[in-house]
Amino acid sequence: MYIKPYIVPKESEIYEIHFGDIFTTPKIIYNEDEFKNLVEELKKEGKGREALDLTKQWINIKKRHFKINYKGKFIDLGVKTAIMGIVNITPNSFSDGGEYFSLKDAVNRVEKLLEDGADIIDIGGESTRPGAEPVPEEEELRRVIPVIKEVRKQLGDKFLISIDTYKSNVARKALESGADIVNDISGLGFDKNMVEVIKEFDCPVVINHIKGKPKDMQKKVYYSDVVAEIIDYFERKINYALEKGVRIDRFIIDPGIGFGKNVEHNIEIIKRLREFKVLGFPILIGVSRKSFIGSILNSFLKDKEYTPKERLFGSLGVSAYAVLNGAHILRVHDVKETKEFLTLLDTVRGYKVV
């Protein structure tokens, strides 16, 4: 049976080449010349398939620029980290439930996020926090569609809107009303018709990793290797969508921080985020105000309990590590503060010392 080799990018341009499971002693590569020599050796040994798989991964790892585009609107990713601003039209989201539940408040929220520097507006009508119950489709439509229509009417069509839903009919109605991207927390898994909507509209889609469903995803969470399992998940989901006719340049991947993971899993994903580069897709990360940040702050700074709205600096700290490890898009509540932070971070990391 063929066992696919894989590259694990480490810090300081060091790469581990694994030819078996994660416990097999890897070959260490320090530069491109050494990698080319390895590929030639594999070909001479009759291992052309291994050589091809590794070459594809190497090309993906070295990608520096991506583009999100839909109906003439586009964002270049690579030099600048993009910001996805969150608009929860829900009564029970973990951080801001009920704050933007009216049409006027929701539209004002979008306008403020755009003024603060958001590149994408992510609109959702169902809370997917741990333990949340599903919302009927009719209610979700009632919440999000009027907002999307009114936002387009008042604020124009020059920016990207993503619809945060796992229901295919909600995605369809949202795209018809002015949305551009589908952000599916189920990774096309909860509604078999979602992939057909993505194909029909030829729109970008965020493939999120989740284990279980929001109602039960934090119960008995276990992974033998959390990053390896998520990479395998992405490969299966994307291959499925490709077979259904979705174009390869339509995918954005999100490891799903907090979606069926404990604190240790979330930290490991951030620490090893660069390993997702082997897939060759833009990486979206959503850590803003999440409970694992509160857990860490509460454990080490015992002066108080940190509520979701008090986790800004913790969110920025984790986001910095994520961006330096390969994140292209940050999904956040606090756009203004994130914009200022990213302006400095992107400038410093892109500065060439002569």
Q: Could you state, in order of their start, the residue ranges of all structural domains in the chain? A: 6-62, 66-350
186-230 tens-digit pLDDT? 999 999 999 999 999 999 999 999 999 988 888 889 999 999 999
pLDDT of res. 93: 53
66-350 homologous superfamily: Dihydropteroate synthase-like (3.20.20.20)
Assigned token pair, 255: 């490891």
pLDDT level of residue 102 (50, 70, 90 thresholds): confident
Per the document, the length of the chain is 354
Percentage of residues of the chain with pLDDT beyond 70: 95
Interatomic CA distance for residues 259 and 186, integer angstroms:
10
pLDDT of res. 49: 96
Positions annotated as catalytic residues are 290, 331
Interatomic CA distance for residues 51 and 42, integer angstroms:
6
pLDDT level of residue 23 (50, 70, 90 thresholds): low
Kindly tell me if the per-residue pLDDT of 302 is higher than 90: no
Kindly tell me if the per-residue pLDDT of 261 is higher than 90: yes
Interatomic CA distance for residues 322 and 227, integer angstroms:
14
Question: How far is C-alpha 57 from the chain's CA centre?
Answer: 19
Q: List the beta bridge partners of residue 283.
A: 253
pLDDT of res. 92: 56
42-75 tens-digit pLDDT? 999 999 999 999 999 999 999 999 999 999 999 9
Answer with the residue of higher pLDDT: 47 or 354. 47
Kindly tell me if the per-residue pLDDT of 100 is higher than 80: no
The answer to whether the CB of 207 falls within 8 A of the CB of 162 is no
Q: For the chain, give the mean pLDDT.
A: 93
| Sign of the CA dihedral running 248, 181, 163, 267 | positive
Interatomic CA distance for residues 60 and 259, integer angstroms:
26
Give the chain's radius of gyration (CA, Å): 21
Interatomic CA distance for residues 68 and 81, integer angstroms:
12
